[in-house]
Structure formats: C-alpha cells, structure tokens
Amino acid sequence: MSINLTKGQRIDLSKDGGGALKKVVVGLGWDVVDNGPDIDCDASAILCGADGKTIRKGDVVFYNNQKHPSGSVYSTGDNLTGAGEGDDEQLIVDMAKIPVEYDKIVFVVTIYQAKERRQHFGLINNAFIRIVDAETSKEMMKYNLSETYPGKTGMIFGEIYRKDGKWKFNAIGQATDDGGIVGMSARFGYTSFK
C-alpha cells in the first residue's frame, strides 16, 4: 500500500520484506490551471555529495543531459505540455550504481523560460512526486503539494539520501525564485553547463 507523505516527512526506502530497493522510478506530475497557458515544466535530478553540493560535470540530469555519467540516474524524456494523466516526467534511479561519493539526489522541477513567458507555479496545480519500485511497478509513496506558489519559478520536490548505509526519502516541497535549471543547479554548487 502506498504511503501519502506530508511536507518534511522522511521515510525509509526499503521493500515490504525489509530488503533494499534496487531501482526506483521517480514520477513527477502537475496540471495547468483551467484555461491557463501551456507550461513547459522540466523535472531534473541533482546528485550531491555529503556537503549537499555537486561533485563533477554531469551531476545534473535534465532534458539536455538525460543520463548521469555513472548510469545510476536517467530521465525518460521531456514532456513539453504537462497534459494528460499520471506522471508527466520520470527519472529512473538505480541504487546499486550510485557511486559511493554521492549521498543525495535532489528532485526539482523548473519552468522553462518562466521569466520570459511570465509563468510561475501559481498557474500549476495537482503537483506531486511519487516513488515506484521499478521491479514490481508498485507505488511506494506519494507526496502531493497542497499549496499553490504564485510568483515562484522552481520547486524542490524531494530528495533521496543515504543515512547509515540506507536510502531514505524526504518530502521537501520548497518553492524557489530560481531562473530555470541553471539557477536551480547553482544552489547546489553546479556551474558546469558550458
């Protein structure tokens, strides 16, 4: 049975029998408000070390870098409209392949050209992040953002992090004013887009 998380709630990423998960699908979704403009939201994963900062080039997995150099995290592609049911974008995390120097994977959503198009998270509702066991396709947990965020152009949805050798998930739900993926990534010390 899937667990509905609240903001700030943390949960262990173990299977029902107590075994470690091997691979998860991180699904992110959102809807545009009624009669709103098409909005191109982009889901990304940012891999960080123990200090919460990226370590090397390629640590941001997004529409222009769809696979981490280690092969541990990859994107299934970019949805340009957010239309339809279910996940709008998915990131796959292979826990066994995550290099030991990484302790955290942060999942964010930014609005493409938000400032130029005058778009923000106040024009989006029903946003969520969910974790699915890739082996069984069973949803383990889901975090629905219950607030709207007018004027905000980025969102830190949640993170998978390593603690005492075990992987856990933290539901964050923090809105930001970052200008796209470049601004969001700079928060985590990443400046290697060029």
Domain that holds residue 66: 3-186
Q: Is 123 within the bounds of a domain?
A: yes
Q: Is 142 within the bounds of a domain?
A: yes
Q: Is 191 within the bounds of a domain?
A: no
Q: How many CB atoms lie within 10 A of CB 120?
A: 20
CATH number of residue 147's parent domain: 2.60.60.30
Total domains in the chain come to 1
Q: How distant, in Å, are the alpha carbons of 27, 89, 92, 114 from that of 65?
A: 18, 14, 14, 20
Report pTM.
0.92
Per-residue pLDDT of the chain (194 residues; tens, 9 = 90+): 688 999 999 998 876 655 677 899 999 988 888 877 788 889 999 999 999 999 999 999 999 999 999 999 999 876 644 455 688 899 999 998 999 999 999 999 998 889 898 999 989 988 899 999 999 999 999 999 877 788 999 999 999 999 988 899 999 999 999 878 999 999 999 988 76
Q: Which of 67, 17, 69, 13 is nearest to 77 (CA)?
A: 67
Q: Is 192 within the bounds of a domain?
A: no
Q: Is 102 within the bounds of a domain?
A: yes
